[in-house]
Structure 1
Amino acid sequence: MTLRMSKIGRNIVRYTLDSVSPFSTTIPKVKNKKGELVISCKRNEFNHYSLVHYGNLDEVPLASKGWNHSKAKGDFFTVLPSQNQPEENMYSFNDMGIHKNIIDVMKKEGIDKATEFQYRAVEGVRSGDHVMLAAETGCGKTLSYLLPIIHDLLENKATAPNTPKAVIIVPNRELAYQVGEVARNLSDSVGLVSKIVIGGRTKSLMMNPVFEDIDILVATPGSLGKLSTVGIYKLNEAKYTVLDEADTLMDDSFVERISSLIRRLSQSQMILVTATLPRTFPEILVPYENSLRHVVSSKIHKPLLNITQKFLRLTLSSRAANLLQMAKKNKDPMIVFSNRNQTCNWAALFLNENGVSCANINGDMHQALRIEQWNKFVSGQAQILSATDVGSRGLNTIQVKHVINYDFPLYAADYLHRIGRVGRLGSHSSCKVTNFIVGQEEIKLVQQIELAIRRNQPLENVDGNITKIVQRKIARKMSQSI
């Protein structure tokens, strides 16, 4: 069935919002006795500078404080990328004892040194302890665990078919392909074998299993659970278990499948890789909690300060006009995030019918179509990707220069993941995020973000278990209505 836009949807492009400056306006860096300009506001009295500090008991002026008022429509503020961030220590892969062939592969990808976090993470994995690698999105966490694992497996190769020595579990198929490709490139260079297992072909694999030597298995929970239950993949010799995007995998929506797999992998070293520190652990991981060695980035839970972030207070009806205006001017890869599958579909349809090529991925789509749309965006056939939070977790999007939150997220963890699609290791130097702010719940989160930046502190109450947050809210509302 061909979808058609309503007359209102087709005509919405006629409207403009004159009270909001276009994002393309360049804001010069300003230095004075207050330091470097950090937050530039429409109302200059709310500008914030790097040398202005607040005590814990001081009241902090917020540009977004009055945004619940109707007169605030059209207000905005911009968080500017810092030009005075301390230079990070870099480490030679040769000094870290990485195999020459692996170093050669990374050099071809433009990676010639390890960051401070990667260096500490490699040491953490090599210690043999259960370890949590927690750092901001886009800092190269995948290499942090793959390098020491592959180095060790050179002396501990698989000895039986379909019996991997390392199992990497990821929450979705797109991330499985991404991690699997990195693992394959590195492992091929030293004679190891990596394989990707995802849903969609599980029944076929059960009926016609392939038995082969596998050193590293990258899989989604559902497919691995089914195939290991029937004995096609044996997990009893796995030396390493990696939960990549652990904050997502520990969400209540995954916990049953993950618990079953962890029981089968109890003999292995547990490696939790996450962009947000978990506030609670599922029951199956509680025995690991006290013995976990933590390798945590100093930037964890902080809104990235190497990108431009603009917050626009809009009316609900003006969002589409602003989206189209920015999309028409856009010449670089861009992601537009929505909170709901229906809005994600509408945004793609709206842009395509107005002459802007846009791909689309969300959780309601058939997997084959989702992969097709993702490849369309990655290959450059479409400059814009409309996505729900399916596209915000873990995917390496170094080509993306602009993220638009058409729907502003309601949870801090989602905001950190979304803005992590830009400003990544290897990304363009001038990346930006534009946020459309409409509702009261959105304003609450904006105020938390603005406060954290003005205080130069991490965001508070970051919780990656979104399902549990939603369940608590529903329970609270039900108890209040009784």
Structure 2
Amino acid sequence: MKKTHLTETRFSNLELSDSIIKGLKEAGFINCTPIQDKSLPLSLRGKDIAGQAQTGTGKTATFLLATFQHLINDESEKIKNPRALILAPTRELAIQIHKDALALSKYLNLKFALIYGGTDYQKQLDKIKGNVDIIIGTPGRIIDFYRQGAFTLENIQVTVMDEADRMFDLGFIKDIRFLLRRMPPAEKRLNMLFSATLSYKVTELAYEHMNNPVLIRIESEEVTSKAINQVAYCPANEQKIPLLLGLLKQHQPQRSIVFVNTKRCAEQLDDYLQANGHKTAMLSGDVPQEKRQRLLNDFQENRVTLLIATDVAARGLHIPDVSHVFNYDLPQDVEDYVHRIGRTARFGASGEAISFICEEYAYSMPDIEDYIGEKVPVQAITPELMVEDVIKPERREPRERVMQRDKRAPRSEHKPREHRPARPQPATNQASTPENPPPPQTQQPA
């Protein structure tokens, strides 16, 4: 893999323990990325950090390494309660942070609790009641367990908020403040906040609940990675599916994500792609947690190489070797564009980001280009890019209608009148009955 976003600074030159350096070397980490180079020297000396960097540039390793070293330094105080809390906005991101934490702490005597909603309630509760050093999870369930008295926040020495802007988007900010106000004062903790974007409300949060943090920002021209080749096409709405099929045929992506704006569009696209020979997985906000994890595992293990997703998958997921990202629908939030295309070109690899400037969402492109500070080249739609014989899938019944019908199952099981079992009746001389008979009356035998 070509490393294009590494600095000359080596991890071995930082104030990290030999055990941490050993784990880094085994994981293949030798040189720092820019965000690591700027943040770690400060955080390793106890300085609070509010860092902004594009996705895939090593923010997770930055706060994990600083957390580990801080806890190692204070390891003489054997505290039987969590000493660090790492908050993430989504279950997927929490799972990924936990996975990275296990890899980088291979030679450390640290215990972790992974806490998130949707599944494994009792298992997680039992885990957090044990002697864990670091809690990694989403705010809702962590608060649930805290209110049950499963753990205390009185001994927290390190606090991390990852994807802080997403915390605001998902309405978690009250939960975060609830937790922060029950910890030791900010000056008695190491506090780190990381996000792909640092908006005014995020920096306000940082200054309110952190100890005079240093703001570390990337330059505006680096909002999107130079390793991502961005192109766009301007199809009419009816051209989008033939064009996508043609581009998939031409590029033959190793592993790709197609982003859409709505669940309904995801379902329609999933049907079309499967009907035309593509094995796909679909990820939207209402997919149950266990199924979501199964879909992501299938994608990561190459059992499925094409993932259709709404923006629920745009942030916090580190899926290696995503070669292509397709914006089938342009996002309506400019920041989501950066998060989406950041799923490719991870850690210095190259990638392709292909966007459709269609009739419905074309208005988003000028704002996107203003935000990323560059023009996205537009290419012509040539005939060879369009698949002519698109196979139409069988019409899918809307999921909402299916769910409503299922709720009414006892009533809806009744068939139309002509299919009901005939009610036993005496023989009659009548050759026929009216189409809409009057209310039943006592019939006299013939």
Query: Which of 81, 89, 93 pairs up with 1:175?
Result: 93
Map Cα deviations across residues 163-207 of structure 1 (whole Å, 9 max, x no partner). Answer: 211111111111111100111122231221222111134642587
Offset at residue 319 of structure 1 (A): 0.8
**How many Å separate the matches in 2 of 1:119 and 1:236?**
31
**How many Å separate the matches in 1 of 2:5 and 2:147?**
49
Q: Aligned pair in 2 of structure 1 residues 171, 454: CA closer, same or farther (>3 Å)?
A: closer
Offset at residue 135 of structure 1 (A): 0.8
Offset at residue 423 of structure 1 (A): 1.5
Equivalent AA in structure 2 for residue 128 of structure 1: G
Structure 1 or 2, whichever has the larger Rg, is 2
Alignment of 1:43-442 (within 5 A): 89-157=7-75, 159-161=78-80, 163-201=81-119, 203-205=121-123, 211-251=129-169, 253-267=171-185, 268-281=189-202, 287-288=208-209, 291-298=212-219, 302-329=223-250, 330-427=252-349, 429=350, 431-439=351-359, 442=361
Tell me which moved more, 121-130 or 377-386: 121-130
Gaps of 5+ in 2: 376-446
Q: Aligned pair in 2 of structure 1 residues 284, 372: CA closer, same or farther (>3 Å)?
A: same
**How many Å separate the matches in 1 of 2:138 and 2:374?**
39
Offset at residue 262 of structure 1 (A): 2.0
Q: Aligned pair in 2 of structure 1 residues 452, 283: CA closer, same or farther (>3 Å)?
A: closer
Offset at residue 320 of structure 1 (A): 1.2
**How many Å separate the matches in 2 of 1:97 and 1:238?**
22
Query: Does structure 2 conserve the Cα–Cα contact (< 8 Å) formed by 1:357 and 1:383?
Result: yes
**How many Å separate the matches in 2 of 1:425 and 1:114?**
11
Gaps of 5+ in 1: 1-84, 457-482
Q: TM-score of the superposition, structure 1-length normalised?
A: 0.70
CA root-mean-square deviation? 2.7
**How many Å separate the matches in 2 of 1:359 and 1:402?**
15
Equivalent AA in structure 1 for residue 338 of structure 2: L
**How many Å separate the matches in 2 of 1:300 and 1:246?**
22
Q: Which residue of 2 is the match for residue 448 of structure 1? A: 367
Equivalent AA in structure 2 for residue 446 of structure 1: M
Offset at residue 143 of structure 1 (A): 0.9
> Share of identical aligned residues, percent?
29
Offset at residue 403 of structure 1 (A): 0.1
Query: Does structure 1 conserve the Cα–Cα contact (< 8 Å) formed by 2:44 and 2:66?
Result: yes
Offset at residue 100 of structure 1 (A): 2.7
Q: Secondary structure at the match of 1:113?
A: coil
**How many Å separate the matches in 1 of 2:125 and 2:26?**
40
**How many Å separate the matches in 2 of 1:454 and 1:169?**
31
Equivalent AA in structure 2 for residue 137 of structure 1: T
Map Cα deviations across residues 237-278 of structure 1 (whole Å, 9 max, x no partner). Answer: 111111111110123622222222222235333211100011
How many residues are paired up? 369
Tell me which moved more, 389-398 or 236-245: 389-398
**How many Å separate the matches in 1 of 2:4 and 2:120?**
48
Equivalent AA in structure 1 for residue 89 of structure 2: P
Q: Aligned pair in 2 of structure 1 residues 213, 354: CA closer, same or farther (>3 Å)?
A: same
**How many Å separate the matches in 2 of 1:371 and 1:382?**
13
